[in-house]
Amino acid sequence: MTSPSARATRLYPAAKPIYAYRVEVTELAIPDWAQSRRIKELTTSDSYIWLRGKALAYKLAQMDKECGGSGRCDRMEVRRCRVCGRYMVGLQAERRRLKDEAGYGGRKMPCDEECHERRYLCRKMV
């Protein structure tokens, strides 16, 4: 985290980190209200789900604990690449954010070597 003074002297505004919560349940079956709010870009299974809202994520983990499970909730940074549209998690998302806020051309910088290729492929499919 940068100090307020460092933030004020930036040429380009800092991008806000976006967080998602990975909720793991052991006893509880993931209810429909959680299924309908899952992050569609990320994989979900019977035992875990990705949610955007902190309150919902903690509520689901708490519900699992009440059923005798060991529900847990992990926060991860997420971000979509503006160039190719890929949804990224964790360190990749952090790197993308740092590029986004790096300068005026930062948002157009590719996320990896295959970024421009992926963008072309995605366009072709539409």
Find out whether 34 and 60 touch, Cβ atoms under 8 Å: yes
Which one of 34-42, 60-68, 83-91, 101-109 is the stretch in contact with Zn ion (CB under 5 A)? 83-91
* Structural tokens at position 57: 């994520």
Would you count residue 89 as binding Zn ion (CB under 5 A)? no
Quick one: which of 23, 30, 73, 111 contacts Zn ion (CB under 5 A)?
Answer: 111
CB-nearer residue toward Zn ion: 6 or 121: 121
Half-sphere exposure of 66 (CA within 13 A, CB side): 7
* Structural tokens at position 97: 């954010």
- For the CB of residue 82, give the shortest distance to Zn ion in the complex, in Å: 8
Which one of 5-13, 36-44, 45-53, 81-89 is the stretch in contact with Zn ion (CB under 5 A)? 81-89
Distance, CA of 26 to CA of 35 (rounded, Å): 16
CB-nearer residue toward Zn ion: 56 or 102: 102
Length, in residues, of the chain: 126
